[in-house]
A and B are shown apart, each in its own frame.
Chain A
Amino acid sequence: MSQLFDIKDTPLSIEEVVEKVTRRECGAIATFIGTVRELTHGKRTLKLEYQAYKPMAIKMLEQIGQEVRDKWPGSTIAITHRVGTLDISEIAVIIAVSTPHRKAAYEANEYAMERIKQIVPIWKKEFWEDGTKWVGDQLEKNAYPEGKPSIKGEEND
């Protein structure tokens, strides 16, 4: 079986990720595709570079998978994140969740994305017309207000 959680340095395929979660007993597959946005608060992004601490990132994605299976029994989730240089509109991340019924698939998918932004060691470097920056803190909160990311994910309920 292909691995459910992956980090790749080549363009991502939605079909490939969906295929990993397709099962006879599921009646819903919710997918999320994160793409590179050109304008953020009026500032133009030229391209992005993603870097990952790959072995730990995969471990953390697996942990998110476990959290999802615990919270939504009967679900199957697959996540692939891209690294390297990405142009505008390229796909940075794909999340697919299959469940027997649709509501759980939507919920689990959103939960997984929020957790990625909290605990998975992947970083994004923005390239603008007037400079570059490794940006953190995508949730627009302070960096780790409690000193560390919430490993448990309890406050995300």
Chain B
Amino acid sequence: MIKILLFAELQEEAGTDQVEVDKAGVTVNEVKSWLQKQYNLTTLENTMIAINESYADENEVVKDGDVIAFIPPVSGG
């Protein structure tokens, strides 16, 4: 299982802040496509990905137990 974290607008669109799903062994990009379909998200395109709290590439393969965070454009400060 992997854990997906959603923030800001994505969290409101999906109606949840986290999802657990059996997607180990596929790329981040595939997780993203699944998420998009599952929740009909309109704001997923410009997001960054973090795996286990570090920015990651969309082609990386996720492992069992990974935490994948979808990070919309940040606006701190």
Residue positions of A touching B, CB distance < 8 A: 34, 50-53, 55-57, 59, 81, 92-93, 113, 116-125, 134-138, 143-144, 148-149, 151
Q: Give 1 or 0 for each of B6-42: 1 = CB within 8 Å of chain A CB.
A: 0111011000000000000000000000000000000
Q: When the two chains form the complex, which single residue of B12, B71, B73 contacts A53, counting CB atoms closer than 8 Å?
A: B71
B2 sits at the interface (CB 8 A)? no
Task: Knowing A56-B50, A144-B46, say if A93 contacts B8 (CB, 8 Å).
Answer: no
Asked if residues A122 and B75 are in contact (CB atoms below 8 Å), the reply is yes
Distance in angstroms between the alpha carbons of A120 and B53 in the assembled complex: 11
Identify which of B11, B69, B77 gathers the most chain A CB atoms within 10 Å of its CB.
B77
Asked if residues A148 and B76 are in contact (CB atoms below 8 Å), the reply is no
Asked if residues A121 and B7 are in contact (CB atoms below 8 Å), the reply is yes
Asked if residues B55 and A117 are in contact (CB atoms below 8 Å), the reply is no
Q: When the two chains form the complex, which single residue of B50, B55, B69, B72 contacts A123, counting CB atoms closer than 8 Å?
A: B72
- What are 11 sample pairs from A and B whose C-beta atoms fall under 8 A apart? A53-B5, A53-B50, A59-B53, A119-B74, A120-B76, A121-B7, A138-B76, A143-B73, A144-B48, A149-B48, A149-B74
Distance in angstroms between the alpha carbons of A119 and B77 in the assembled complex: 11
Distance in angstroms between the alpha carbons of A93 and B74 in the assembled complex: 14
Asked if residues B7 and A113 are in contact (CB atoms below 8 Å), the reply is no
Task: Knowing A56-B50, A56-B53, say if A138 contacts B9 (CB, 8 Å).
Answer: no
Asked if residues A151 and B55 are in contact (CB atoms below 8 Å), the reply is yes
Residues of A with C-beta under 8 A to B74: 117-123, 136, 138, 149
A99 to chain B, nearest CB (A): 21
